[in-house]
Amino acid sequence: MTAYSRLEAIFRKTAALGDALAILHWDMATMMPNGGAESRTEQIATLKGIAHETITAPDLAELLTTAATETLDNWERANLREMHREWVHASALPADLVDALTRAESACEMVWREARPASDFKRVLPHLRDLLGLVRQVGAIKAERLGVGVYDALLDQYEPGGRSSEIDPVFTHLEGFLPGFIGEALEVQAGKPPLLATSGPFPVESQKALGLKMMEMLGFDFHHGRLDVSHHPFCGGTPADTRITTRYDDDDFVSAMMGVLHETGHALYEFGLPKGRWGSQPVGRARGMVAHESQSLLMEMQACRSRDFMGFAAPLIRETFDRQGAEWEADNLYRRGIRVERGFIRVEADEVTYPAHVIIRYRLEKALIEGRMELEDLPAAWNEGYGRLLGIAPPDDRLGCLQDIHWFGGSWGYFPTYTLGAMTAAQLFDAAQRADGDILAGLGRGDFKPLRDWLRTNIHGKGSLLSTRELLTEATGRPLDPTVFEAHLRRRYLG
């Protein structure tokens, strides 16, 4: 066997371990009784330990060096690059730190599940402090290995090559743009006829039925996936067994419906990744979380909140909930879907205020990671950020710093990918429409195939063959351009 073929065999094994871990994590978030937490932590820690031991074996560095001298095609060369990246991240950490981090993540998440509904930040604070200490250790070790700052080392885990030096000017520009634009959008909105209320209750079973119909419409493969309920909506599992979740509110069907559409966007990306040989290799995985979030936000925000799609969806919504009247007509439902509101919850935010939610979290997690802020000050700093960018202050921690699972589950450095993903989504949707004039018309008849086909050709099927910048440039003709996102906002909300 060549050095490269031996590497493929090794990474095929780690991919299988990763797939098993993904299903265990999904089960922990959806089905597992609380009493199973200790046992599940042991299972996850053991599998992560085996994966870490496999990818940091003594001969792996030599195999990577030798494989680089062998004759490889473009996909093999890209796969080797991704193997090397994974090896750098894994080999930087000692096994005992990986084990300690895994256990701290599980423990903190389980306490967060109790603290969030009780709005009790102090309950989870000791566990979060322990977890953050370990995350800082990981960041410091990887920063030295990668030659970057501590925050960038953590960001690189979710967005390969992502750097805060590139994010900061984009977010600083948005911080200057958003407050004024939010005011303009609210003023335009106030000048239009009042929205008609769509009152509940909306039975959970009916909401689920609507979600399943829309998942099928978008192209979700139920032979390789399913829909469940969790504390926080997410997409997990594997490309061959993709699990999405949402949460339901009897008084608001839109939240669960949009959550399903968002997570289905993630799932379609997973379904569209390379199959066969590359399906078990690093090059066959999603490029990074900017690309992944672009796919969920493209479906939820760009496509499914469009006037074209709502014209098709309105009769389906009326039929599902057995409602009639002007409040259930397409125009009212469309306007409700793009209603701008200064709210507390990120996952329920409109696309105008959404970037503010992300920027606040980015600034806070960066300060915490870099030691410029203490955890005890997080609730007050959170409220200050909301007051500054959105003009509101959460009344309690449930609606404030406890609302997202990310930090309490160990995902530090993830948040900026949401807004970078939103901007990427706008640019991809713009390019897709220019490439295929039937895409908007397709949405108007509930046909997502033209859009889905374009995405599978230009994004999904390329896996990690290209960098994020190269992927976007090849698909749209230019690297990330925030003006495309801003132009979209102006058309939709000021027009």
pLDDT per position as a tens digit, 149-164? 999 999 999 999 999 9
62 and 89 assigned to the same domain: yes
Q: What is the mean pLDDT of residues 373-398?
A: 96
Question: Could you say which of 131, 160, 189 is where a domain stops?
Answer: 160
Give the pLDDT of residue 91: 95
Query: Same domain, yes or no, for 153 and 185?
Result: no
Return d(Cα 90, Cα 464) in angstroms, integer.
Answer: 18
- Same structural domain for residues 178 and 139? no
40-71 pLDDT, tens digit per residue, is: 999 999 999 999 999 999 999 999 999 999 99
Give the model's pLDDT for residue 291: 98
Q: What is the pLDDT of residues 82-139, one digit of tens each?
A: 999 999 999 999 999 999 999 999 999 999 999 999 999 999 999 999 999 999 999 9
User: Which pLDDT value is given to residue 191?
Assistant: 95
Q: Give the pLDDT of residue 348.
A: 86
pLDDT tier at 231 (50, 70, 90 boundaries)? confident
Q: Do 156 and 212 share a domain, yes or no?
A: no
Give the pLDDT of residue 312.
Answer: 97
Do 152 and 179 lie in one domain? The reply is no
Same domain, 143 and 184: no
pLDDT of residue 249: 94
Residues 404 and 273 in one domain: yes
Give the pLDDT confidence score for residue 14 in this predicted structure. 96
> Would you state the pLDDT for residue 232?
80
Q: Render pLDDT for 259-300 as a digit per residue (tens, 0 to 9).
A: 999 999 999 999 999 999 999 999 999 999 999 999 999 999
Q: Please tell me whether residues 174 and 155 are part of one structural domain.
A: no
Range of the structural domain that residue 398 is part of:
166-494
User: 28 and 117 share a domain?
Assistant: yes
What is the pLDDT confidence band of residue 495, given thresholds at 50, 70 and 90?
confident
Do 25 and 125 have their domain in common?
A: yes
Q: Kindly state the average pLDDT of the residues 210-220.
A: 98
Given 106, 125, 160, which residue is the final one in a domain? 160
- Indicate whether 76 and 225 sit together in one domain: no
Q: How many domains, the chain? A: 2
Is 263 one of the catalytic residues?
Answer: yes
Both 24 and 100 in a single domain?
A: yes
Q: Which of 263, 270, 293, 300 is catalytic?
A: 263
Of 160, 193, 215, the position where a domain reaches its end is 160
Mean pLDDT of 406-422: 96
CATH of the domain at 445: 1.10.1370.30
pTM over 0.85: yes
Q: What is the mean pLDDT of the chain?
A: 96
